[in-house]
Amino acid sequence: MASFKYFNVSTDSAVEITAKDTVDLSNLTNKITGPPQYVTICNNDASGDECTVDLFLENTALTVSNVSILHDVVIPGGSTLVLEPPELNYDSTVYALKFKLTSVTSSQLVDIKVQY
């Protein structure tokens, strides 16, 4: 059965929408969540303004810590962007998936739905 996470983003701070999975070698029944199957990003700006977003993979342990999936992508007001495999295929034990608004107005609101 699918599980979901929901986020409301209105600042230009990076938001972790999926954490890095940890592997516990002492517990072999440990289940790894893996990357999401779908990510839905909806520009829910009250005034209808477009928004510019980044979606990236982060690993602070590596020399190159960020890998971009979306960079400076403009989503028109009232529009929704849906991402699915292969865009979302990555090693969830190495990377965390993060989202960032790169342009923020006072009315800016982005709703994110993540499906596993």
The rounded distance, in Å, linking the Cα atoms of 89 and 57 is 11
3-state secondary structure labels for all residues of 37-52: CEEEEEECCCCCCCEE
The model's pLDDT over 85-108, given as tens digits with 9 standing for 90+, comes to 999 999 998 999 999 999 777 788
In this predicted model, what pLDDT tens digit does every residue of 7-31 receive, in sequence order? 999 999 999 999 888 877 776 556 6
Give 80's pLDDT tier (boundaries 50, 70, 90). very high
HSE at residue 31, side-chain half, CA atoms within 13 A, is: 1
Is 7 in contact with 15 (CB distance < 8 Å)?
A: yes
**What is the pLDDT at residue 46?**
84
Tens of pLDDT, residue by residue over 35-60, are: 999 999 999 988 889 999 999 999 97
Higher pLDDT, 72 or 2: 72
